[in-house]
Amino acid sequence: MDPHNDGDASNTDRYSRRRVVQGIGLTGALALAGCSGDGGDGDGDDNADGGGDGAGGGGGDGDTGADTTGGGGQPVEETWTGVLTKPGDEGQHNPWSQNYNFDGFFLYDFLGRYHGNRHEFVGFVVDDWSVEGTTATVHIRDSYTWHNGDPVLAEDLVTQLDIEALVGSPFDSVESWEATGDRTVEFQLSKEVNEFMLLEQLLQRRLKAKTSVYGEYAEQARQAESEEDEQAVIEDLQSVELQFGAEQAPIGNGPWQFKEGSNQAWTFELYEDYDNGHFSADERNFDQAGWRYVPNKSKRSLALSNEKIDYWTKTHPTQAQIDQQPDSVDWNRVPLYNGYGLVPNFRNEPWGDARVRQSILYAVDFDLLAKNTSGAFQRDPIEIPCGVSNSVLDTYLGDSQDQYVTYDMDTDAAASLLEDAGFSQEDGNWYKPDGDRFAPTIQEGRGGYWVSLGQNVTSQLQEFGIDAELRKVGHTEMYGDIVPNGKFDLIGDWWSGQWFRGGYPGFHIRSVTVGWWADQTGYPQEVEMPMPVGDPEGSTETVDVGTLFEDLSTARDDQTEQDLIEQAAWVYNMTLPKLPMTVERDINLFDVENWEMPPLDGDLMKQGEPHWWADRMGEIQARTE
């Protein structure tokens, strides 16, 4: 039997589950490699779609009282310009190449995106979807066309899904898919599933694979009969060279199409036939957008204050860079679903002992850490170290959050846990059960303000009597050698393996307890922990973590889903696969003198990628003379 379909070799629009399931591990690894945070002078805003949803501090109403679009005046600006964080001539524009020069913001639209403040999916390329039993269906919006005028069709989505399944798929329970009409794609599921988790995996993807460009590779993938054949298709796919202005050029479907570019700037022009159901091109009063290459945060701050760029988002500037902005610039802070924490190696003693991990949290003052490190205005202390971020505790845990341990600083509790684990204290210094000093090394590989966080934690542990040491390493060494080869006791890193997905525990907690991160840390798939939920002194029970998340992925009624979410958070809270200490915030700055923006403290703009939401919802206009 052909392993790439379900037995019907003539049906080339269907795809087998074998490769779909195989790809999940790769997805986690690629996510780690592609999103590296600040990284010294970087902003975390170059190639990744960052951010979290929910309310946060800072910001204003995006309105300076200047003339807006009424009255038919001439726009004061013609081009809405953001930041290009690497020279524009580096790389090329095949999304599956190894040197992809990210252009998705302008060129390609998502099928749909989750609005984290309204708690609903918003359709873009697709305008309707349904999940009935073991069948899911999406319908592509009739108004969508590619930039060469061709309609966006179901075959384009099938082409992309077939390619994604070849290189690594994000689906958990999808067995196959097929075009059942010109604009309809139907998915067959292996079982009834949690609808939110399915839609989150399905809709939040940019449609990039026009069949006329990528169809031959999707067909080769369907016909591949061995892993060697598959690898050959991947290599051919990655070698496709797409360049703006060349015979082989990327063809988008978003509101902006390429106009001109250099190593210093890209300019895109409004695609006149664009209509995403929320706004159409003829409703916009400016016709160009683009990026300007600005190499570091100091220069980006100056570029914004001098009106060389119009927005600077998903970034982490210093307080001084915020203060230097003129009144024409307004800003907000968006809480992420993630933050700083320590990652223990369960394979190395004593980190496999939950009491030791818990003692570290009790020994650290989260508030002091958040407020006395570089960029303090961009972070908050963690409220409950349970894998659920501050801004969505009410959403996912509700009244039950009072049951969880907050690990507020308590050196007596930390000492009691260490003593219970066989440690001893002499002259204020802690010793392990074998008599050696308790002297863990915290390795830090992200640079920038992460080093400041690591220094603060190290200092607090030393004050408690743990002879901690901070070791700074390069990012490549950390994630290319130290982490995959288990060469660590503790590392400073994000406490979740996800940044988006509505902060949903089924993704965020699973990402560090099952799969890639669990493989790196040695986190066990069966954990011994106190039960029931909310009773740290309860009887010890064995919890199969994989089964827990399998059950959550198939939960169909609200109460079952809620019970499983609370149990997942309890697993994190008690076993601490990572040690959360802060919640980070993205800072987003906008020129509101020359551009009419939606309120920066409103629900549209207080979520990840506010510039994207303002653009795609048609809520940005040039102010007029």
Q: Which 3 state secondary structure label does DSSP give 365?
A: coil
Judged against a pLDDT cut of 70, whether residue 2 lies above it is answered with: no
CATH fold for the domain made of 340-584: Dipeptide-binding Protein; domain 3 (3.10.105)
Contact 254, 274 (CB under 8 A): yes
Q: Which of 67-76, 191-200, 354-363, 526-535 has the lowest mean pLDDT?
A: 67-76
Query: What's the CA gap between 403 and 323, in Å, rounded?
Result: 41
Q: What is the pLDDT of residue 462?
A: 98
Q: What is the pLDDT of residue 93?
A: 85
**253-255-258 Cα angle (round to 5):** 80
For 541, the token pair is 């029970």
Judged against a pLDDT cut of 60, whether residue 568 lies above it is answered with: yes
Contact 14, 6 (CB under 8 A): yes
Judged against a pLDDT cut of 60, whether residue 487 lies above it is answered with: yes
Calculate the alpha carbon distances from 420 to 350, 423, 424, 570 in Å: 13, 7, 9, 22
Over residues 127-156, the mean pLDDT reads 97
**63-65-66 Cα angle (round to 5):** 105
> What confidence tens digit (pLDDT) does each residue in 252-279 have?
999 999 998 888 898 999 999 999 999 9
DSSP one-letter code for 73: P
Query: What's the CA gap between 243 and 257, in Å, rounded?
Result: 13
Topology agreement, domain 107-239 and domain 340-584: no
Domains of the chain by residue range: 107-239, 340-584
Over residues 433-448, the mean pLDDT reads 95
For 498, the token pair is 């996800």
- The residues pairing with 121 across neighbouring beta strands, listed in sequence order, are 114
Query: What's the CA gap between 136 and 297, in Å, rounded?
Result: 44
For 34, the token pair is 């592609």
Instruction: Please report which confidence band the pLDDT of residue 90 belongs to, taking 50, 70 and 90 as the band edges.
Output: low
Q: Residue 192 CA to chain centroid, in angstroms?
A: 26
Over residues 442-454, the mean pLDDT reads 92
Q: What is the pLDDT of residue 67?
A: 46
Q: Which of 18-32, 294-308, 316-330 has the lowest mean pLDDT?
A: 18-32
Considering only CA atoms, give the Rg of the chain.
Answer: 25
Over residues 219-247, the mean pLDDT reads 90
Contact 442, 454 (CB under 8 A): yes
Class of domain 107-239: alpha beta
Q: Residue 31's CB: how many other CB atoms inside 10 A?
A: 16
Q: What is the pLDDT of residue 399?
A: 95
Judged against a pLDDT cut of 60, whether residue 388 lies above it is answered with: yes
Q: Residue 225's CB: how many other CB atoms inside 10 A?
A: 10
Strand positions, DSSP E, 190-306: 256-261, 265-270, 288-293
Judged against a pLDDT cut of 60, whether residue 6 lies above it is answered with: no
Question: Which one, of 484, 508, 480, lies nearest residue 496 by Cα?
Answer: 508
Q: For residue 173, how many C-alpha atoms fall within 13 Å in the half-sphere facing its CB?
A: 24
Contact 429, 464 (CB under 8 A): no
Q: What is the pLDDT of residue 89?
A: 67
Q: What is the percent of the chain where pLDDT is above 70?
A: 87
Instruction: Please report which confidence band the pLDDT of residue 10 belongs to, taking 50, 70 and 90 as the band edges.
Output: very low
Q: What is the pLDDT of residue 9?
A: 27
Query: What's the CA gap between 453 and 432, in Å, rounded?
Result: 25
Strands of the sheet containing 256-261, edge to edge, are 79-84, 288-293, 265-270, 256-261
Calculate the alpha carbon distances from 564 to 337, 567, 569 in Å: 19, 5, 9
Q: Residue 41's CB: how many other CB atoms inside 10 A?
A: 14
- Which residue would you say has higher pLDDT here, 92 or 520? 520
